[in-house]
Amino acid sequence: MTPAKPKRKKGRFRWLRAFFILILLMGLGMSAAVATYIWRVVAALPSLSRIEPKPSLTSTVYAIDGSVLAELHAQEHRMPVKLSQMPESLRYAFIAMEDHRFYSHFGVDLRAIARALYVNLTGRSFQGGSTITQQLAKNAFLYMEQTYERKLLEAIYAIQLERLYTKDEILEMYLNQVNFGRGAYGVQAAAYAYFRKDVSELTLPESALLAALPWSPPVSVIPDELFRRQKSVLDEMHRHGYITAEELEAARAVELVIQPRPRDNVKMAPFFLDHVLDYVLKKYGPEMVYTGGLKIYTTLDPNMQAAMERSISEVLDPVFPLIPGQPTLQAAAVIVDPKTGHVKAMVGGRTHETRLGLNRVFSPRQPGSAIKPLVVYVPAIDLGYSPGDVVDDAPIAYPQLTGPPWEPQNYDLSFQGLVTLRTALDRSINIVAIKLLERITPRAGINYARQLGITTLVMETRGGRTDQGLALALGALTDGITPMEMTLAYGVLANRGVQVDPVAILRVVDKDGNVFSEAVPRPRIVLSEQTVFMVTHMLQSVITSGTGRSAAIGRPVAGKTGTTDDYRDAWFVGYTPDLVGTVWMGYDKELTMESHRVTGGSYPARIWASMMKAAHEGLPVQDFPQLRKDQLVEVEICIKSGKLPGPYCARSDRRIELYLKGREPTEICDVHVRAKVCQQHPQYLASEYCPAVVERTFIKRPEPYVVGTNKKKPLDAHLELPTEVCPEHVPAWLRPPPPNPGGDG
């Protein structure tokens, strides 16, 4: 009889079967979970046709000569270049070090992954196993931390990239993506950051060092480790056959010098760059400007910019040194081509403190006498006055609603008497400007200034002030005028009456070469050629014989000085047929330049002459445009009356003056007159009782003047025709009785 099997064996089999079924179910569940996870990841991926790396690209600002003015970028300074621009040594250095089977795998290197797993599991070291294509996928699309999900996505993206792009295209994108430290992304930015050269100029040792950078500590911390890694790159290049043993030996022997880290990506003209940057940021936004790879072509002339900066420094530094902790006497300057509106050079201050900070070229300041041509002489000439017309520079008083009368003064506190408009402009005589503005009205002066491009004049009453007063002639304004608007207004005179808007940016091009915007000049005629010619002719006299003699540069120049009464602002604005420029000086705070008596004809005129002389180097000397001969006439006039000389006009009071045809004087001088005076008392007209009489020539003023509180008279007052008869030579019976010394007793 066969013995029965133990029951415990049957139970054990059932238990094992249940265990294996459980393991199978768990495996199937895990497989389903993994499959579901992979499906969700793949489903979330973009379409293969839309996958394209979009790195942060550096925008570049160019000067007019094509040189780089600045590079604009956020954290990533990247300037993409074509693979053909990169030396072979650079390409092979990266391939040898990171992915020597790059041209043979399909985006994922299974052998490299297996080797990396073995090394990592055995604990010998750590290896990643990623291909160049996977690293491109990681840099371009994946910003998450190191996880299994990211590694999976890397592989999927890499395979898609390999299907969409050629190997060379992938390598080009990768080398333009790599982070090299110092804010440099891509080999072009790295070549400049470490060696100050273009990527195409890199040598074999330099290429190997760049290939070592992504795997090494920062060069500023452990340079020895970087050079050790560079030699490892060279060894790998030799091992994989990219360089010979001789090339290896020669490259290892080279001692590389790494350049200091660039402190600023602005090459020059920081205030001009601020102006450009302010515009593009408002128009395109920060993301496009700092990451879009724009190419911004500007009007800046590097030679003129350098000359401007040098001129300000050479003139001001010896007298007004920059002392930390003390207020700085500031200066601003700008040069514009009046025909095109191109801004050629700009300085907004003696030091550039912060990006997009105060730019004094666009900061309103009181213009002083620099405004006189714009609000007085241009309107007057356009309305029919001529340079030979005469105004009396004599004391005057204007009543005010409250307080004492307003008694304006000239800069030197003297009065010249009867002078022509040309002389008044030459010497910047305030009284003549005020009287002339009174004749044409302040409203007309403001309208002409606005026509010339000045936008800051105030017509309405604001805080008890308005620019519709006679103080307008002296530049005492509510808000002031910016150096840029002053330059553009004088530019109309330099451009024969044609106004052109200022241009700093010629065009903006995106990374693909599409033109975003392009400057289109829109010239407008705002003054007649006749008016422009006459005003320019007068302003040339300011340089040859007036307050602007320091601005002479050996070629035809017209211009005007400007100084405020309190020495807070000093200007020189001038132009040639080629360029117009402005120089302003003053303090930002309520300080004056009185201790040095800075006027527009001193330091500003000297700076202007220095920078404009350099700016005109290489340009032919040319005169201002002339009118036709039949439009002009030269006439000898009497400078005390503005009329044709009479029989009593002295030779010293006669001068040849230029007139527009039809405006020349036709009347004979009636200011110079002859009269008989007492020989003993020539300050009196002779009476019939004077024992001796002489006949002399005098001037007879068209109108009397007011003796102000300072009691000063015009310099020609001694030539005035007496108005009283001699009181000494009269009959005894007409004389008053003498006083009685004895009184009543």
Convert the pLDDT of each residue in 448-458 to its tens digit. Answer: 999 999 999 99
Convert the pLDDT of each residue in 300-338 to its tens digit. Answer: 999 999 999 999 999 999 999 999 889 999 999 999 999
**What are the residues whose beta carbons fall under 8 Å from the beta carbon of 23, sequence distance 6 or more?**
none
CA–CA separation, 742 vs 738, rounded Å? 12
Convert the pLDDT of each residue in 97-121 to its tens digit. Answer: 888 888 888 767 666 565 655 554 4
Residue 571 has pLDDT above 60, yes or no: yes
290 near 368, Cβ under 8 Å?
A: no
Give me the DSSP letters along 115-167. Answer: HHHHHHHHTS-------HHHHHHHHHH--S-S-HHHHHHHHHHHHHHHHHS-H
CA–CA separation, 184 vs 85, rounded Å? 18
294 near 508, Cβ under 8 Å?
A: yes
Nearest to residue 627, comparing CAs of 491, 531, 492, 543? 531
Helix (H, G, I), strand (E, B) or coil at 391: strand
Exposed, middle or buried by CB within 10 Å (0-12, 13-18, 19+), for 437? buried
Helix (H, G, I), strand (E, B) or coil at 595: helix
- What letter does residue 629 receive in the DSSP assignment? G
pLDDT interval class at 655 (50, 70, 90): very high
CA–CA separation, 189 vs 222, rounded Å? 21
pLDDT interval class at 215 (50, 70, 90): low
- What letter does residue 688 receive in the DSSP assignment? T
CA–CA separation, 651 vs 642, rounded Å? 14
Q: What is the pLDDT of residue 462?
A: 78
Q: What is the pLDDT of residue 36?
A: 54
Helix (H, G, I), strand (E, B) or coil at 647: coil
For residue 655, count other CB atoms closer than 10 A to its CB: 15
Q: Which residue has the tokens 């008392």?
A: 681
Q: Which residue has the tokens 């092979």?
A: 92
User: Residue 443, CB half-sphere, CA atoms under 13 Å: how many?
Assistant: 1
For residue 569, what are the β-bridge partners? 586
What would the mean pLDDT of 676-683 be, rounded to a whole number?
A: 94
CA–CA separation, 498 vs 490, rounded Å? 11
Torsion, Cα of 111, 112, 118, 120 (10° steps): -170
Mean pLDDT is lowest, of 50-64, 133-147, 405-419, 713-727, for: 133-147
Look over the chain and give the mean of its residue pLDDT values, rounded to a whole number: 86
Q: What is the pLDDT of residue 70?
A: 83
Q: What is the pLDDT of residue 460?
A: 84
Give me the DSSP letters along 239-284. Answer: HTTSS-HHHHHHHHH----PPPPPS-SB-S-HHHHHHHHHHHHHHH
Segment holding 341, helix H or strand E: none
Helix (H, G, I), strand (E, B) or coil at 588: coil
Exposed, middle or buried by CB within 10 Å (0-12, 13-18, 19+), for 259? exposed
What would the mean pLDDT of 571-581 be, rounded to a whole number?
A: 98
Residue 443 has pLDDT above 80, yes or no: yes
53 near 289, Cβ under 8 Å?
A: no
Residue 48 has pLDDT above 50, yes or no: no
Helix (H, G, I), strand (E, B) or coil at 464: coil
Q: Which residue has the tokens 């000085």?
A: 561
From the centroid of its chain, how far is CA 727?
70
Q: What is the pLDDT of residue 12?
A: 57
- What letter does residue 11 receive in the DSSP assignment? H
CA–CA separation, 58 vs 71, rounded Å? 6
Angle at 634 between CA 628 and CA 639, to 5 degrees: 140
Percentage with pLDDT > 70 across the chain? 83
Q: Which residue has the tokens 């600023």?
A: 264
Q: What is the pLDDT of residue 28?
A: 65
For residue 562, what are the β-bridge partners? 571
Residue 745 has pLDDT above 70, yes or no: no
Mean pLDDT is lowest, of 55-59, 231-235, 552-556, for: 55-59
Convert the pLDDT of each residue in 615-624 to its tens digit. Answer: 999 999 999 9
Pair of tokens at residue 155: 């592989």
What would the mean pLDDT of 391-414 be, rounded to a whole number?
A: 92
Give me the amino acid identity at 260.
P
Exposed, middle or buried by CB within 10 Å (0-12, 13-18, 19+), for 376? buried
CA–CA separation, 341 vs 332, rounded Å? 19
Torsion, Cα of 421, 625, 487, 422 (10° steps): -10
Q: Where are the alpha helices (DSSP H) in 452-597?
A: 483-494, 529-545
Segment holding 84, helix H or strand E: none
**What are the residues whose beta carbons fall under 8 Å from the beta carbon of 85, sequence distance 6 or more?**
188, 199, 200
**What are the residues whose beta carbons fall under 8 Å from the beta carbon of 40, sequence distance 6 or more?**
none
Convert the pLDDT of each residue in 346-401 to its tens digit. Answer: 999 999 887 788 999 999 999 999 999 999 999 999 999 999 999 999 999 999 88
Q: What is the pTM of this model?
A: 0.76
Residue 76 has pLDDT above 80, yes or no: no
Buried b (16+ CB within 10 A) or exposed e, 402-429: eeeeeebbbbeeebbbbbbbbbbbbbbb
Helix (H, G, I), strand (E, B) or coil at 714: coil
| Active site amino acids | 98, 369
Helix (H, G, I), strand (E, B) or coil at 589: coil
User: Residue 319, CB half-sphere, CA atoms under 13 Å: how many?
Assistant: 13
581 near 346, Cβ under 8 Å?
A: no
Sign of CA dihedral 275, 279, 285, 291: negative
For residue 541, count other CB atoms closer than 10 A to its CB: 17
Residue 427 has pLDDT above 90, yes or no: yes
Nearest to residue 269, comparing CAs of 40, 69, 83? 69
- What letter does residue 506 receive in the DSSP assignment? E
Angle at 559 between CA 310 and CA 275, to 5 degrees: 50
From the centroid of its chain, how far is CA 556?
26
136 near 161, Cβ under 8 Å?
A: yes
Task: Kindly list the distances between the CA atom of residue 659 and the CA atoms of 114, 381, 632, 656, in Å, as whole numbers in the listed order.
Answer: 97, 11, 6, 10
Q: What is the pLDDT of residue 1?
A: 47
Nearest to residue 210, comparing CAs of 91, 106, 129, 304? 91
336 near 576, Cβ under 8 Å?
A: no
Pair of tokens at residue 532: 């422009």
Percentage with pLDDT > 90 across the chain? 60
What would the mean pLDDT of 517-533 be, rounded to a whole number?
A: 95
Torsion, Cα of 257, 258, 262, 266 (10° steps): 70
Convert the pLDDT of each residue in 15-26 to its tens digit. Answer: 666 666 667 766
Nearest to residue 275, comparing CAs of 505, 585, 453? 505
Give me the amino acid identity at 214.
P
Q: What is the pLDDT of residue 173?
A: 82
Exposed, middle or buried by CB within 10 Å (0-12, 13-18, 19+), for 309? middle
For residue 702, what are the β-bridge partners? none
CA–CA separation, 207 vs 87, rounded Å? 8
